[in-house]
Structure 1
Amino acid sequence: SGAEEFVKKYETHKEEDQIIGHFGLGFYSTYMAAKQVEIQTLSYKEGAESVYWSCDGSASYTIEKGTREARGTEIILTLLEDEKEYLDEAKMRTILKHYCSFLPYPILLNGKQINEHPPLWMKPASECTEQEYLDFYRRLFPMEPDPLFWVHLNVDYPFHLKGILYFPKTSLEGEFKKEKIKLFCNRVFVSDNCKDLLPDYLTTLRGAIDSPDIPLNVSRSYLQMDRTVRQLGAHISKKISDRLGSLYRSEKEKFLSYWPDLELIIKYGALQDEKFYERVKEFLIWKNDKEEWTTTEEYLERHPEQSVYYTAEKNHFLNLYQEKGIEVLMIRPSMIDQALLSFLEQKTEAKFKRIDGHLEEKILDPEKEKSLLDADGRSEAGKIADFFRKKLDMEVEAKSLASDSLPAFLLIKEEERRLRDQLAYRNQEMASAASSFVKPTLVVNTNSKLIQAIQKAELKDPELAKEMAHSVYDLARLSQKEMEPEALAAFIIRNQKVLEKLSESL
């Protein structure tokens, strides 16, 4: 039959009559590049005669006795004028390597075999060496650095699945690269996009998956709902979590060294998949202020009060907690970490408290509290708070901190900070709007000699006292990374003026 009859046969919209997946479509696609197709073929059957077939893509064709003397088939394409780029050997080699590298039959181009290396996933894992895994990865991804480790998949029931998935070198701050897992069906390349087969958190992996059970002749929406596809994704997820757990328990030091490259998969997976979280929670780890690794559950076992203290970076304020022997986790203000904190608060009894988001009694020294009232009924702490409040026009609290080395710090409520940061991750305009409703409180330390000196300077030089008060506020913002870049110039100028005035009294 001709092309017109072929297409007409599949004009109905019934699912069983869809053109995709029926024998012959691949052959008809040759006319996308060729104006004439000729075939010389000879059957393997004894006594068979050679056949010659020729067609220019129209409804008519020529068929007659052929000239081929040996068993086999030869297909000759006469290319269209606009498609002669396919005569370029380099281009053809690139195409063949992309689609045919692992076909079970030899593919030759000008006498040189294209698929000279069989797919490693066909070989039992027990027979594969580390060098073979690395060489295979380099052939798949020649521009990528070597992977950390890998998982060899081999499933026969309830579906057939083979493949090798590699854990690449990546990071939480790095680019979230997707579409790096090559999908094959019976060793034939299909796609490098497995997002419908794998959960999102595993699409950062690299490698290849081969399964004859993946329904390739259906629509994308049906693929997402297919029971086999869901089973495949769930099975792969379990294999990955099992491999991670095995590495954590048997080679913990190696696991910890890999953590910067693994945490994106583990954290993202915990947020996305309840079952995955249950399997990885034993190694969902954080580093504390003493450079020790711990899980949230281990932290709570050591501190039954259920408060988990954390900070984004080491700064002067952290010293207060360290001097009191309070364990503090180091948690970056990244979008995924902030989402994970809220998630863990729902899954556990933990309440995460950023150390500059709460004024804890543990860091105060009540014995040095300046609470004695004067004749007007005002305490020394109240006077200091009023002084800074008037100079800075903002909310101020004066407290007796356990250390006199920290003059002041900014207190930003946990809920306000999380909301602000969450909006900031979305876009800059929302970040600016969010900053407007965040109202920080400056907590000044009544035990600080600098704070006491500034208060005394008010009697001699009110202008100098005001500039020094602003400098204390700016130093707190700078230390806690709350100072806007455009405010840095004013901060430098103000401090220069303060130093000049102070030098005059020397």
Structure 2
Amino acid sequence: MSKQKGNLSIHSENIFPIIKKWLYSDHDIFIRELISNGCDAITKLKRLHSLGEADLNGETDFQVKVVLDRTARTLKFIDNGIGMTDEEVKKYINQIAFSGAEDFLKNYKDKGDTDQIIGHFGLGFYSAFMVADVVEIHTRSYKQDAPAVKWRCDGGTEFEMEDGSRTERGTEITLHLGQDGETFLSEYTVKDTIEKYCSFMPYPLYFEVADKEPEKDKDGNIIITEPEALNDVSPLYLKQPNACTDEEYKDFYRKTFRDFKEPLFWIHLNMDYPFNLKGILYFPKLNTEFDTIEGRIKLYNSQVFVADNIKEVIPEFLLLLKGVIDCPDLPLNVSRSFLQNDGFVRKISDYITKKVADKLNSLFKENRAEFEKFWDDISPFVKYGLIKDNKFYEKIEGIVLYKTTGEQYVTAQEYLEKHTGKLEKQIYYVSDPIQQAQYIKLLKEHEVEAVVLDHSIDSAFISHIEMKKNDISFKRVDSDISELMKDADQGVDEETKNKEIEALTTIFKKALNKENCKLQLENLKSGDIAAMIILSEDSRRMQEMMQRYSLGGFNPGVMPSEEILVLNKKHPLIQYCLKHAGEASEVLNLVAQQIYDLAVLSHKPLEPEAMTSFIQRSNEIMKRMIQN
């Protein structure tokens, strides 16, 4: 073939600026595109061989090699696949995107960075021009009589094409890196990018640095080492679940996510119909509630990495997990990172949700003790899923566990059955077992347990459950005084009780300097507690919601407080207050202030100024005790 020159068949000189700016969101993606093209070339050759159309002469050593030469500023991608004839180069390289190029230009010429979806235009090879000033192709077809071809383009619309000197079947693509490709002169960057995108490519990937000084032993002899592939050509998720051991699952998790904490358990996805999907989802062990945001699910298409955490495929609540999903049937566009055909993708998402729900149900039913061990780690994920996905809610709601203050795990139904006759479709809970210990103790004296709901998601979770199941309500232990805790006020008429409340209100308003002080006088069965603070569940939830959605700018003083000070008439300190009502007594003020602060402390932390006053007053009271 004589040397040829010509124009790329694209009908516009603006194609390369558009490719560079809008084809892909990440420039490093060209490595994935060129390596996956090399793997495709090998797959095509093997397919032709299976059909009897290509003779491999027993060859089985298929591979893709990436060679960096920092001195020459080149990056080469070499495969021993099907190769191309001159006609194929003209067809697949010179005619960019075939007839789709005009539509491409028409739709994306004037659009900005937010418009990433390109469509099926076959532009993967041209991602090389995002980092290279010049690209060369040296290729030889598997066809015996086809000469080698050399192709060269400097990123404009002109190319050069002539007979090549390559003697072996396959393709070598050389990128002469320009300023935009400076980053990829780093050995670490290239290797890391290969591992990021190509960890599970179906043929061995090798990487070498051509201008790197060879390693030598102490005598100055060059150490020759066998090259190691950077990828796993048969990843665990492609195997049948019954052929995998627990240790293999754990090892795959460690290597893939570089997480050396053992996962709690995993789900092996293996589906062939109505679509092809394989993968493994891991439930990681969480150290703190903040770990829940570190989930990562890697999506692949035929062992080619697409992207992390694509919400169209992975249900949002599952993004708290770690895992790998490979779906060859995904309807991808040229940039692979963006999906088309929402209906099909939704079916994939629904299938994944169902498999996770099935696994949780089987764990609960077949090994409840083991399920309870996992619960504290997986509960944020499960609760988030219940809120976000109605189908997941329907499958899982009955096996949600609640940890009681007695360290047991019960379902909502089991909790209600346990307290039959004491509570009416009501679940008591604590958000801070230490702070609310006094309230827990009072309930326990009446054989009532609370459940612990102390995670940041629990507020939204219980509201969602109440909305779905209107016959269940949640009450924090400090939101009211249960009738179980009260004794009847025998022999006291309503008029007397009102006078007592009025007298105590006057004392506490004066002592606390609070005009809006609200009091409630009760005969509590326990005589150990002088006073308690209660705040209605509705009022507290409203304040918490306002605080959450105002991003910290909410001032609690804007809303009237529903806080009530409940005084226990049986307690000697309250009896003292009633006895000395109407007196102008410094001691009475001290007692009232101390009663209030002690009640607040069992409800919530004191404000800094109030804590200072409480400590000073406590010292004053003890000093008076030893003096008297």
Give 1:134 deviation, angstroms.
1.1
Change (3 A) 1:78 1:340: closer
Question: What corresponds to 1:336 in structure 2?
Answer: 457
- Comparing 455-464 with 142-151, greater Cα deviation is found at 455-464
User: What is the CA–CA distance in structure 1 between the aligned matches of 2:485 and 2:541, rounded to whole Å?
Assistant: 23
Change (3 A) 1:338 1:404: same
TM value normalised by structure 2: 0.73
Q: Which amino acid is the alignment partner of residue 463 of structure 2?
A: S
Alignment pair present for 1:440 and 2:560 = no
Q: Which amino acid is the alignment partner of residue 40 of structure 1?
A: H
Question: What corresponds to 1:404 in structure 2?
Answer: 527
Give 1:199 deviation, angstroms.
2.0
From 346, 354, 363, give the equivalent of 1:238: 354
Q: Which amino acid is the alignment partner of residue 480 of structure 2?
A: H
1:335·1:425 contact (CA, 8 Å) conserved in 2?
no
Deviation readout 1:2-42 (Å, 9 max, x if unpaired) = 2754745332339xxx854322x222221222222222211
Alignment pair present for 1:184 and 2:184 = no
Change (3 A) 1:489 1:42: same
TM value normalised by structure 1: 0.90
Question: What corresponds to 1:166 in structure 2?
Answer: 282
Question: What corresponds to 1:260 in structure 2?
Answer: 376
User: What is the CA–CA distance in structure 1 between the aligned matches of 2:548 and 2:596, rounded to whole Å?
Assistant: 26
User: What is the CA–CA distance in structure 1 between the aligned matches of 2:336 and 2:198, rounded to whole Å?
Assistant: 24
Alignment pair present for 1:60 and 2:176 = no
Change (3 A) 1:327 1:80: closer
Question: What corresponds to 2:599 in structure 1?
Answer: 476
From 466, 475, 491, give the equivalent of 1:345: 466
User: What is the CA–CA distance in structure 2 between the aligned matches of 1:299 and 1:78, rounded to whole Å?
Assistant: 69
Change (3 A) 1:78 1:341: closer
Alignment pair present for 1:499 and 2:622 = yes
Alignment pair present for 1:360 and 2:458 = no
Question: What corresponds to 1:326 in structure 2?
Answer: 448
User: What is the CA–CA distance in structure 2 between the aligned matches of 1:83 and 1:307, rounded to whole Å?
Assistant: 64
Alignment pair present for 1:132 and 2:237 = no
1:389·1:396 contact (CA, 8 Å) conserved in 2?
no
Give 1:477 deviation, angstroms.
0.7
Alignment pair present for 1:311 and 2:311 = no
Secondary structure at the counterpart of residue 573 of structure 2? helix
Change (3 A) 1:359 1:370: farther
User: What is the CA–CA distance in structure 2 between the aligned matches of 1:462 and 1:153, rounded to whole Å?
Assistant: 75
Q: Which amino acid is the alignment partner of residue 154 of structure 2?
A: D
From 343, 366, 378, give the equivalent of 1:227: 343
- Comparing 105-114 with 186-195, greater Cα deviation is found at 105-114
Secondary structure at the counterpart of residue 344 of structure 1? helix
Change (3 A) 1:327 1:82: closer
User: What is the CA–CA distance in structure 1 between the aligned matches of 2:335 and 2:554, rounded to whole Å?
Assistant: 40
Secondary structure at the counterpart of residue 305 of structure 2? strand
- Comparing 222-231 with 463-472, greater Cα deviation is found at 222-231
Secondary structure at the counterpart of residue 11 of structure 1? helix
1:40·1:75 contact (CA, 8 Å) conserved in 2?
yes
Q: Which amino acid is the alignment partner of residue 8 of structure 2?
A: G
Change (3 A) 1:4 1:439: same
User: What is the CA–CA distance in structure 1 between the aligned matches of 2:548 and 2:498, rounded to whole Å?
Assistant: 44
Q: Which amino acid is the alignment partner of residue 422 of structure 1?
A: M
Secondary structure at the counterpart of residue 54 of structure 1? strand
Question: What corresponds to 1:22 in structure 2?
Answer: 121
1:241·1:276 contact (CA, 8 Å) conserved in 2?
yes
2:500·2:578 contact (CA, 8 Å) conserved in 1?
no
Secondary structure at the counterpart of residue 217 of structure 1? coil
Question: What corresponds to 1:452 in structure 2?
Answer: 575
Question: What corresponds to 2:324 in structure 1?
Answer: 208
- The answer to which structure, 1 or 2, has the higher relative contact order (CA under 8 A, 6+ apart) is 2
Secondary structure at the counterpart of residue 309 of structure 1? strand
Change (3 A) 1:289 1:195: same
Q: Which amino acid is the alignment partner of residue 349 of structure 2?
A: G
Secondary structure at the counterpart of residue 555 of structure 2? helix
Q: Which amino acid is the alignment partner of residue 2 of structure 1?
A: L
Question: What corresponds to 1:217 in structure 2?
Answer: 333
Give 1:173 deviation, angstroms.
2.8
- Comparing 298-307 with 456-465, greater Cα deviation is found at 456-465
Q: Which runs of 5+ in 2 are unaligned?
A: 1-6, 16-100, 109-116, 209-226
User: What is the CA–CA distance in structure 1 between the aligned matches of 2:159 and 2:263, rounded to whole Å?
Assistant: 53
2:428·2:449 contact (CA, 8 Å) conserved in 1?
yes
Q: Which amino acid is the alignment partner of residue 458 of structure 2?
A: D
Change (3 A) 1:224 1:5: closer
User: What is the CA–CA distance in structure 2 between the aligned matches of 1:290 and 1:35, rounded to whole Å?
Assistant: 69
Change (3 A) 1:340 1:79: closer
Deviation readout 1:240-296 (Å, 9 max, x if unpaired) = 111111111222222111112100111111112222112112221112232222111
Q: Which amino acid is the alignment partner of residue 154 of structure 1?
A: N
Change (3 A) 1:82 1:184: closer
User: What is the CA–CA distance in structure 1 between the aligned matches of 2:190 and 2:330, rounded to whole Å?
Assistant: 28
Secondary structure at the counterpart of residue 169 of structure 1? coil
User: What is the CA–CA distance in structure 1 between the aligned matches of 2:488 and 2:118, rounded to whole Å?
Assistant: 81
Deviation readout 1:110-129 (Å, 9 max, x if unpaired) = 25422145221111111011
Give 1:431 deviation, angstroms.
3.9
Alignment pair present for 1:122 and 2:238 = yes
Give 1:455 deviation, angstroms.
4.4
Question: What corresponds to 1:295 in structure 2?
Answer: 411
Deviation readout 1:72-119 (Å, 9 max, x if unpaired) = 112222222553442332221111111111111221112542214522
Secondary structure at the counterpart of residue 398 of structure 1? strand
Deviation readout 1:122-166 (Å, 9 max, x if unpaired) = 111110111111111111111452211111111111111111111
Change (3 A) 1:434 1:193: farther
Question: What corresponds to 2:205 in structure 1?
Answer: 107
Give 1:172 deviation, angstroms.
7.2
2:331·2:340 contact (CA, 8 Å) conserved in 1?
no
Give 1:470 deviation, angstroms.
0.7
Secondary structure at the counterpart of residue 466 of structure 2? helix
Number of positions where the alignment pairs a residue of Structure 1 with one of Structure 2: 498
User: What is the CA–CA distance in structure 1 between the aligned matches of 2:331 and 2:616, rounded to whole Å?
Assistant: 68
Change (3 A) 1:219 1:187: closer
- Comparing 138-147 with 203-212, greater Cα deviation is found at 138-147
From 179, 195, 215, give the equivalent of 1:97: 195
Q: Which amino acid is the alignment partner of residue 321 of structure 1?
A: L
Secondary structure at the counterpart of residue 247 of structure 1? helix
- Comparing 36-45 with 233-242, greater Cα deviation is found at 36-45
Change (3 A) 1:219 1:464: farther
Question: What corresponds to 2:511 in structure 1?
Answer: 391
Secondary structure at the counterpart of residue 415 of structure 2? helix
Q: Which amino acid is the alignment partner of residue 197 of structure 2?
A: Y
Secondary structure at the counterpart of residue 266 of structure 2? strand
User: What is the CA–CA distance in structure 2 between the aligned matches of 1:340 and 1:20, rounded to whole Å?
Assistant: 40
Question: What corresponds to 1:76 in structure 2?
Answer: 174
Change (3 A) 1:404 1:382: farther
Alpha-carbon RMSD: 2.8
Give 1:377 deviation, angstroms.
9.0
Change (3 A) 1:437 1:430: farther
Question: What corresponds to 1:463 in structure 2?
Answer: 586
